[in-house]
């Protein structure tokens, strides 16, 4: 990762260290607060064909759109970015605030089995809540490994988004947690975005007041980084 990315990760870790007693990447019982931004929603999105390739965004609150409006989260903004680029696809929000890697592992098969069609791509982003709760990195690695294995078994391409450990958890935890994502991306040969909040977390204007989650503008920056990887992984881009 470029130097700026490592700097973002370090500063994010410091923020996590300060906020860890207060939050855990959202909570399943802390509902989002939808809001209407008026003019930005005025233009209706074009209709998406029923047989358009399906992209499933499977993660925690960073995917779910924690405290954001219905068009401000990762899935809807990624959908809009792909549409603007002329890429016809449907992005499904399968993010759940508060999800650990274990919870994601438990629900992955259900989500895949009940999708309207076989996904052309799955964005996978879990493990942040494991880290905030101090769950053993070996468990996080095992759960992510199992999910990637299941997706490989189903022949579904993956874009894995990474996370990092807060420094207050200690160097031993950091050395075990941080390599999980690049290691597994290499093992399964999947697309990889090393740090989900790269170029976002260092700018307070792009973050919510909890300093853990991006606001709508922050999500926009995340999507700018993810969209080219998504487009490259979709069949229509090949």
**pLDDT (tens digit per residue) in 126-148:** 999 999 999 999 999 999 999 99
Among 145, 191, 210, 211, the active-site one is 210
Check: CB of residue 52 under 8 Å from CB of residue 194.
no
Active site residue 211: no
Among 61, 99, 130, 198, the active-site one is 61
Percent of the chain clearing pLDDT 70 (strictly above): 79
Among 8, 60, 101, 213, the active-site one is 213
Compute the average pLDDT of residues 79-93: 96
CATH level 2 (architecture), domain 3-17+54-237: 3-Layer(aba) Sandwich (3.40)
* Burial class of residue 22, CB neighbours in 10 A (0-12, 13-18, 19+): exposed
Where does the pLDDT of residue 166 fall: very low under 50, low under 70, confident under 90, or very high at 90 and above? confident
Q: Return the domain boundaries, the chain.
A: 3-17+54-237
Where does the pLDDT of residue 12 fall: very low under 50, low under 70, confident under 90, or very high at 90 and above? low
Helix segments in 61-157, DSSP class H = 61-64, 74-84, 101-113, 128-132, 137-153
Active site residue 41: no
pLDDT of 35: 43
Active site residue 191: no
Q: Which residues of 32-54 are buried (b: 16+ CB within 10 A; e: fewer)?
A: beeeeeeeeeeeeeeeeeeebbb
């Amino acid at each position: 990762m470029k130097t700026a990315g490592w700097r973002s990760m370090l500063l994010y870790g410091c923020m996590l260290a300060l906020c860890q007693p207060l939050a855990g990447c959202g909570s399943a019982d802390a509902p989002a607060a939808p809001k209407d931004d008026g003019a930005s929603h005025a233009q209706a999105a074009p209709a998406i064909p029923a047989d358009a390739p399906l992209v499933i965004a499977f993660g925690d609150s960073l995917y779910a759109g924690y405290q954001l409006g219905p068009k401000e989260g990762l899935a809807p903004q990624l959908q809009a970015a792909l549409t603007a680029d002329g890429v016809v696809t449907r992005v499904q929000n399968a993010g759940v605030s508060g999800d650990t890697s274990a919870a994601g592992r438990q629900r992955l098969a259900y989500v895949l089995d009940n999708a309207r069609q076989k996904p052309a791509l799955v964005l996978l982003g879990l493990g942040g809540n494991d880290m905030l709760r101090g769950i053993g990195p070996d468990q996080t690695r095992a759960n992510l490994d199992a999910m990637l294995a299941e997706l490989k078994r189903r022949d579904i391409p993956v874009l894995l988004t990474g996370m990092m450990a807060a420094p207050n958890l200690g160097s031993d935890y950091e050395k075990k947690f941080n390599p999980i994502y690049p290691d597994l991306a290499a093992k399964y040969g999947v697309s990889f975005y090393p740090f989900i909040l790269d170029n976002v977390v260092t700018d307070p204007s792009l973050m919510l007041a909890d300093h853990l989650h991006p606001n709508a503008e922050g999500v926009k920056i995340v999507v700018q980084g993810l969209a080219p990887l998504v487009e490259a992984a979709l069949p229509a881009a090949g």
